[in-house]
Chains A and B, each alone.
Chain A
Amino acid sequence: MIIPLIFQLLGIGLIIILAVGVLSPFESMGWWAGWSEESKPELPEVEPPQETPGNTEPEFNHYVVYLSGIGAISGDFLENYEIAFLDKVEARVPGTAVVRDVFPYSMNNNGLTGHRAFKSLWQRIKDLKLKNKQMLANLVMLRNVFQVAVSADRRYGPIYNFGTCGVILDGLRRKGYRVGSGIPVTLIGYSGGGQVSVGAATYLGPVLKAPILIISLGGVMADDPGFVNVRHLYHFHGQKDPVQSLGQILYAGRWSILPQSPWNKAKAEGKITMIDAGPVTHQDPGGYFLQSEEQKEKGEHTQDRLIDAIVEIVNHPTEVVNITSVEQISEQDDHKGSPLQ
């Protein structure tokens, strides 16, 4: 009795996954085709250089944009531990603006609880999430994981990544960034946000004409053509995080047998630094942001070391920071050495 029921449930689950997957490209494709009435895809505007001498000094000399993981519901809703992480980083990077209201899994920064079909379903899931009931939050992950796959797909990526480039540009502008100013931009992408960052770099490069750095926190990334516009990628990988290695397994362009792939070319050019993030998992607590009870008991402060490493990178946007492990940071602090190459 129970076995057929299990198979039926598995079948229903598979059909739901396939349905979500098959429909996943239509949001960005429909947006591109102009089917969505709310807003149309537009080319980004590059402001001419300011001529008034009094206004030439920019408020910030570096911009950081945070792109959340596949559990994200909207740009204005981050987990508490993500907010705490960004607060800590922001406090230690003077002169750097931190953009934290970008939703990387839709066009136009339209969060799942924004104006869209099934808005009430996503709102209900968000409410449950706030009450720590995570079961239905898996639907958000399923939806967003397919958006990451859309970004990485060579058929849909060119359009999806154009959309997210626009979303990131809007976020930068909200913080006063002037396109054409050449001010460096660092994208911090957690999980699926890593792929979205690299994908968006495809267009951010020609639009910004500024150094683009990517800090990937357990990012799942494909061999995206956007790597050509990335000045440097710092990929933090947790010792207990098998999810971040999915990109390396699933995308042939990340295998060493294809040396001409964008990933392998970037690697050969020394544009990718792999950093051991210590004993962290993909999800929190115990992940890249929040210390777990077990870590507290053991006296492990890996997440703090991670912040130290990120601060070091963000404070040197035009240089390559030579870190291979977050533990290295504390050792270097002890010896007053510099991790800069």
Chain B
Amino acid sequence: MYTIDTSSFFHFFQTLWSLATGAMRLDPAAFTAMDTSGTGLLAATILFLAGVSEALGQSVVLLANRVKPGRFVLSLLLNGILFIVSAFIWGATIWGIATLVYHTHEPFTGVMKSVALSYAPLLFSFLTLLPYMGTFINRLLSVWSFLAVLVALEATMSLNIWQALVCAIFGFVFLLVLKYTLGRPFIALEHWIRRATAGVSSTVEVKDLVEKITEQIVENPKGGKS
């Protein structure tokens, strides 16, 4: 049983932690608890923190591009906001597919808030920083979060697990198609916002670093700034 109490800062985070741990345990009650009033900010906070944590886990991308400390923090916060936007789009897609294919009647906001809670495992995305095992942990958290989405859809939309799986997968595929077709200008805008926030004109991919540094060594035998 989950009590939604957001009356103070302390109670807000106590409720958030209780719901997040419930979601991580894949407890359906945690997701149905989101389908009440006053949980919108909780959902947004989970998404925001998961986004910040994810950006922290991937901070090698920012640091490889020599982002300044202030810009680094701004980039983390930006990722939190972009996480909210992307979760909103995915939630809307899933809700749309469920409504069209399975004729469900649940209101969008309830479904959206449950989907947001399913991002709770990604609160630990900062562990991706760990050398050697970080990448594996990242994949594990993604699978965990995906399973949480299925439980969320099962609990809030009265779908069975296979129907939930169809909605989640088709939602994902639809977004992928959108990303490479109509969504191109939005993706370009997102990249521009990320670069502007980080304060770098172009981004170096981590996998290309060795090649780039080696090229610089060969081309600049006199040394100097790398």
Determine the residue in chain B with the shortest Cβ distance to A31: B63
B126 at the interface (CB under 8 A from A): yes
Name the one of B67, B210, B222 contacting A202, with C-beta atoms under 8 angstroms.
B210
Interface CB pairs A-B, < 8 A, 20:
A22-B127, A25-B60, A29-B59, A30-B63, A32-B63, A42-B223, A43-B224, A43-B225, A44-B217, A45-B221, A46-B222, A146-B131, A149-B131, A150-B131, A152-B131, A155-B135, A158-B209, A162-B213, A202-B214, A225-B210
The SS class assigned to the A binding surface is helix
Cβ of A174 within 8 Å of any chain B Cβ, yes or no, is: no
CB of A18 closer than 8 Å to a CB of B: yes
Q: Given contacts A32-B66, A33-B66, is CB(A152)–CB(B132) below 8 Å?
A: yes
- Determine the residue in chain B with the shortest Cβ distance to A21: B130
Q: Within A196-225, which residues are at the interface with B (CB < 8 Å)?
A: 202-203, 206-207, 225
Residues in B whose Cβ lies below 8 Å from that of A35: 69
CB distance from B103 to the nearest CB of A (A): 46
Closest chain-B Cβ to A142's Cβ sits at a distance in Å of: 13
- Given known pairs A32-B66, A156-B131, the reply for A42 and B225 (CB within 8 Å) is yes
Q: What are the residues of chain A within 8 A of B222 when measuring CB–CB?
A: 45-46
- Decide if B127 touches A153 in the complex (CB within 8 Å): no
Residues of chain B contacted by A152 (CB below 8 angstroms):
131-132
List, in ascending order, chain A residues with CB within 8 A of B59's CB: 29
Complex: how many Å from CA A93 to CA B223? Answer: 32
A34 and B210 within 8 A (CB): no
Q: Is A159 an interface residue, CB under 8 A from the partner?
A: yes
Number of interface residues of A (CB under 8 A): 37
CB distance from B218 to the nearest CB of A (A): 6
- Is B37 positioned at the interface, with any CB of A under 8 Å from its CB? no
Chain B residue, CB-CB nearest to A222: B132
Other than A22-B127, A29-B60, A158-B213, give 17 A-B pairs with Cβ distance below 8 A.
A18-B127, A18-B130, A21-B129, A22-B130, A25-B129, A29-B64, A40-B225, A42-B224, A42-B225, A43-B226, A44-B217, A46-B223, A153-B134, A156-B60, A156-B131, A158-B206, A225-B210
Give 1 or 0 for each of B177-203: 1 = CB within 8 Å of chain A CB.
000000000000000000000000000
Q: What mask results when residues 42 to 66 of chain A are scored 1 for a CB within 8 Å of chain B, else 0?
A: 1111100000000000000000000
Nearest-neighbor residue (CB-CB) of B219 within chain A: A43
A129 interface hit (Cβ, 8 Å): no
A41 within 8 A of B: yes
Residues of the B chain whose Cβ atoms lie less than 8 Å from the Cβ of A10: none
- Nearest to B135 among chain A residues (CB) is A155
A residues sitting closer than 8 Å to B (CB atoms) are 18, 21-25, 29-30, 32-35, 40-46, 146, 149-150, 152-156, 158-159, 162, 180, 202-203, 206-207, 225, 250
Contact A24 B66 (CB under 8 A): no
Secondary structure class of chain B's binding surface, majority of residues: helix
Residues facing A in B23-69 (CB within 8 A) are 59-60, 63-64, 66-69
Compute how far the CA of A225 lies from the CA of B131 in the bound complex, rounded to whole angstroms. Answer: 17
Instruction: Name the 5 nearest CB pairs between A and B, nearest first.
Output: A45-B223, A149-B131, A158-B209, A29-B63, A46-B221
Q: Which residues of A contact B209 (CB under 8 A)?
A: 158-159
| Bound CA–CA A126/B59 (angstroms) | 32
- B77-135 residues with Cβ-Cβ distance < 8 A to A are 126-127, 129-132, 134-135
Assembled-state Cα–Cα distance A222/B213 (Å)? 21
Interface check B216, CB cutoff 8 A:
yes
The answer to whether A203 and B132 touch (CB under 8 A), given A25-B60, A32-B63, is no
Query: Which among A43, A162, A203 has the greatest number of chain B C-beta atoms within 10 A?
Result: A43
User: B65: nearest residue on chain A (CB-CB)?
Assistant: A33
Known: A42-B223, A44-B223, A207-B217. A250 touches B132 (CB 8 A): yes
Complex CA distance for A142 and B87, rounded to whole angstroms: 38
Complex alpha-carbon distance, A162 and B226, angstroms: 10
| Residue B220 lies at the interface, judged by CB distance under 8 Å to chain A | yes
Min CB distance B36 to A, Å, is: 33
- Chain B CB count within 10 A is highest, among A34, A40, A156, A225, for A156
Alpha-carbon distance between A203 and B223 when the two chains are bound, in angstroms: 13
Contacts of A159 in B (CB 8 A): 63-64, 209
Q: Do residues B131 and A21 form an inter-chain contact, with CB atoms below 8 A?
A: yes
- Contact between B223 and A43 (Cβ–Cβ < 8 Å)? yes
Task: For the complex, give the distance between the alpha carbons of A207 and B64 in Å.
Answer: 21
Contact between B64 and A206, CB atoms less than 8 A apart: no
Hey, which chain B residues are within 8 Å of A23, CB to CB? 129
Residues of A within 8 A of B213 (CB): 158, 162, 203
B210-A155 in contact (CB<8A) = no
State the CA gap A32–B134 with chains docked (Å).
20
Chain B residues with CB under 8 A of A225: 210
Q: Are B132 and A149 in contact (CB under 8 A)?
A: yes
Q: Which residues of A contact B226 (CB under 8 A)?
A: 41-43, 162
Q: Give the residue name and chain of the A residue nearest to B67 (CB).
A: A33
With a CB–CB cut-off of 8 A, which chain A residues contact B126?
22
Residues of chain B within 8 A of A180, CB atoms compared: 221
Which B-chain residue is minimally distant from A46 (CB atoms)? B221
Residue of A nearest to B223 (CB): A45
Contacts of B214 in A (CB 8 A): 202-203, 206
Question: B77 CB to closest chain A CB, in angstroms?
Answer: 18
